[in-house]
Structure 1
């Protein structure tokens, strides 16, 4: 169940530009776009790049297709990169390093965008942007299994993703259920599909997206956890946080957010 130890780095360049080779994160900090910028300009770890930590796959928020990382979160962060006059580069890394704040503190990336719920514990590790997505936890299983709630899983195996709110929720609310931990969403859903676990819990958005391609599976119980996603930055990085929040607000005001949302979820946001 251990994921690969080698990090994958993806350079995301705008249309009509030449692709460049991916490179590891550097330790230098440079004003956005490599410009002098002034005291309020966000300092980025690589000149001309906005480096994003994420945990792949987490479709439709971020996932790899044809050698390129795409998704809802990716397009939102692209808007931030555009405002900073840089290009986004994505580092694929285990989620535990993201949610613990270790990746941000060590300078692996400028920000973390990983379909990540804002929690009080994570707020102690890094700073969050304004919320940009509503989510809740849900169960997924084979239709024939009849798994509609935790009480149907007593004595059975429930897959959870390491470091997630789904894992925390199941630990508190699923007595008598054996929890089996996986490092990423891909491994978790493969376990459901192959019958290694009887069901899995994760955010409803990714589960509803997955069953579109898996007609033998269904999303059962949705738990009213009232979660919101945020983009993370290193504690005290007020300059970058300001740009992120301004970009999210502008996208919602202009209608760009609704367009991106509809592209990836097939409907307009309800809020």
Structure 2
């Protein structure tokens, strides 16, 4: 009798295990989740001036992307919608999204073919591109003028290859981070520093005596990222972006954070 009961129980156990596995593997609909929770969990930077930076005064993360995340949340969920901010880094952002620790990423994330294999992007929300940071008294206005000169960049970024594409005779010194590269610029070890124009704008905003030179020489826009398959979420994010641009909120936020930065062309990013 006991053996019979064991044989009878085995199919039931297998059925339950299969059902639980199927439920666990079922993809969560992010849009339905945020509607139900009335909350969007945003992965944001807390170390990037003008976009998302921890304020010593307020103890909160502040910046253009933070304001835009709040505006998109209200546009999608209504005035009572809540934007929950989770601090991420360049290395942790995609893993946190994949593990559903965050619903979306807005973290100075360039739309690239490699990343499009891992995540689904919204339409661009910031027309980023590579730029040049120089001292105020510099006569450099274009990337081509960097030929036969020393340029400073951060190791592991696309900046080096991009400079050599447009100024093949430039000498590029690579540093571990943006702080080191900018310190080298201040010390006169190069005539210019190069990376995303948005990041350079952040450096220029807190360092009088430096400016952005000319226009971006590459087109590398930032996009909002969600998990693969979350087309409904992307559709509603894009709709919210369109509405915020139409009602003037987007341009107001651009001017709030970037107006007055020397050499930064607001018209290049305004819609």
Q: TM-score scaled by structure 2?
A: 0.68
Q: Using the alignment, how far apart are the partners of 1:237 and 1:227 within structure 2?
A: 23
- The alpha-carbon deviation at position 172 of structure 1 amounts to 4.4
Structure 1 window deviating more from structure 2 (110-119 vs 193-202): it is 193-202
Greater share of strand: 1
Across the two proteins, how many residue pairs are aligned to each other? 229
Structure 2 residue 221 is matched with structure 1 residue 217: no
Q: Using the alignment, how far apart are the partners of 1:173 and 1:97 within structure 2?
A: 32
1:153–1:229: structure 2 CA closer, same or farther, 3 Å change rule? same
1:261 equivalent in structure 2: 254
Deviations 1:22-73 (A, max 9, x none): xxxxxxx9x9xxxxxxx684436xx665332234432212222222111111
Aligned-pair RMSD on alpha carbons? Answer: 3.4
Structure 2 residue 48 is matched with structure 1 residue 58: yes
1:119 equivalent in structure 2: 112
Query: Which has the greater radius of gyration?
Result: 2
Q: Using the alignment, how far apart are the partners of 1:40 and 1:50 within structure 2?
A: 9
Q: TM-score scaled by structure 1?
A: 0.68
Deviations 1:111-169 (A, max 9, x none): 22122222222212211101222232111133467665466464745222644x53552
2:231 equivalent in structure 1: 238
Q: Using the alignment, how far apart are the partners of 1:97 and 1:40 within structure 2?
A: 20
Greater share of helix: 2
Q: Using the alignment, how far apart are the partners of 1:54 and 1:232 within structure 2?
A: 11
1:181–1:104: structure 2 CA closer, same or farther, 3 Å change rule? farther
Q: Using the alignment, how far apart are the partners of 2:156 and 2:199 within structure 1?
A: 16
1:254–1:270: structure 2 CA closer, same or farther, 3 Å change rule? closer
1:64–1:192: structure 2 CA closer, same or farther, 3 Å change rule? farther
- The alpha-carbon deviation at position 79 of structure 1 amounts to 2.0
1:79–1:225: structure 2 CA closer, same or farther, 3 Å change rule? same
